[in-house]
Amino acid sequence: DVVLGPNLGFLVLSIAMFALGLAGAYRALRPAGEDSAARRSFAFGCLVFAAATLALRAGFDALPLDLDQLNAAPWLQGTWLAVLCGLAGVPFFAAGIVISGVLTLEPARIVPLYAVNLIASAVGCATLVPLITPLGPGGALWLASASAVLAAGLFARAPVPALLVAGGLAAAPFLHRPA
């Protein structure tokens, strides 16, 4: 919303909800599988989330979308808007694949897993909100990507390399803050 303008805020939320729901439907059709295969799948999903999140800002900046020209060139600008929607949906789809997979891997423990999911989401939001102003939207994306890389390492049972990469990603916005 900050990068795209206030009028597109509801569109972004709609894309997020659609992509998360699509991921849940995908997971219903293709269950996570056994533990080791599921862990690899979850780690890969986290890495897709991290890469897609880092690509968002550059992708949005590169698109020649101009909503003021939507009436003058509806097919062209509509195409760019569709590309923007697709770019915005990828991280949410990847996150939805991982979250729905984790929640369905052990159905007997769904209540505590869901409780941990909600608590971690709240802690993540509460941690990120005060950092948005000093880091800007790009810095917030770097921190989200760092968290996803760390999660990938934990799923892959390789926490030390993941911690090093995540630490580098998390430090990036502090080393070069936008003017």
pLDDT tens sequence across 2-50: 455 666 778 888 999 999 999 999 988 988 777 778 888 898 999 999 9
> Sorting pLDDT into bands at 50, 70 and 90, what band is 1?
very low
* pLDDT score for 131: 81
Write the CB contacts of 120 (distance below 8 Å, at least 6 apart in sequence). Answer: none
Q: How many Cβ atoms sit within 10 Å of the Cβ of residue 178?
A: 9
* pLDDT score for 17: 93
pLDDT tens sequence across 39-96: 888 989 999 999 999 888 888 888 888 888 888 999 998 899 899 899 999 999 999 9
> Sorting pLDDT into bands at 50, 70 and 90, what band is 103?
confident
> Sorting pLDDT into bands at 50, 70 and 90, what band is 152?
confident
* pLDDT score for 177: 54
With both helix axes pointing from N to C terminus, report the angle between 9-29 and 74-105 in degrees, rounded to the nearest 10. 50
Q: How many Cβ atoms sit within 10 Å of the Cβ of residue 167?
A: 13
Q: What is the DSSP string of 17-65?
A: HHHHHHHHHHHHHS---SHHHHHHHHHHHHHHHHHHHHHHHHHHHH---
* pLDDT score for 141: 85
Quote the CA–CA distance of 138 and 108 in Å, as a whole number.
39
CB 114 within 8 A of CB 135: no
* pLDDT score for 176: 57
Three-class SS of residue 173? helix
* CA atoms within a 13 Å half-sphere pointing along the CA-CB vector of 21: 6
* pLDDT score for 4: 56
Write the CB contacts of 109 (distance below 8 Å, at least 6 apart in sequence). Answer: none
* pLDDT score for 67: 80
- pLDDT (mean) for 96-110: 88
* pLDDT score for 142: 83
Identity at 12, one-letter amino acid code: V
pLDDT tens sequence across 105-149: 888 888 998 899 899 889 988 887 888 788 787 888 888 888 888
